[in-house]
Amino acid sequence: DAGVIQSPRHEVTEMGQEVTLRCKPISGHNSLFWYRQTMMRGLELLIYFNNNVPIDDSGMPEDRFSAKMPNASFSTLKIQPSEPRDSAVYFCASSITGFQPQHFGDGTRLSIL
């Protein structure tokens, strides 16, 4: 079975540019999560979808961040405009329901210069 697929694996871009991260969850999973991981703050939840509907976006740092889930098999996380402090590894995860074990993709390592 294919796991959670994220793209790109690495992204290097200049400050001010728009960045779009993509995620394909595991088929049949109803919950999708976007996380950001840094050495200082660990793994932080940014936003959580259930059945394609955003449930909790309180972790989104500011208005520069937005996330969409147009259908059950695709989600995007967008940063516009990007800033150097956004540099981190961004993970997408999915689960059957919110309380079940989560399956993570291998992340996108984002560097904003």
The residues of the shown chain that bind other proteins, judged by CB under 8 A, are: 4, 31, 33, 35, 41-43, 45, 48, 50, 55-56, 91, 93, 97-99, 101-107
Shortest CB 53 distance to other proteins, Å = 12
Q: Per 3-state DSSP, what percentage of the chain is helix, strand, and coil (rounded to 5)?
A: 5, 55, 40
Nearest to other proteins of 18, 106 (CB atom): 106
User: DSSP characters for 21-53?
Assistant: EEEEPPTT--EEEEEEEETTTEEEEEEEEETTE
In one-letter notation, the amino acid at residue 62 is E
Shortest CB 40 distance to other proteins, Å = 9
Nearest to other proteins of 5, 72 (CB atom): 5
Nearest to other proteins of 3, 16 (CB atom): 3
Nearest to 25 by CA among 77, 61, 80, 81: 77
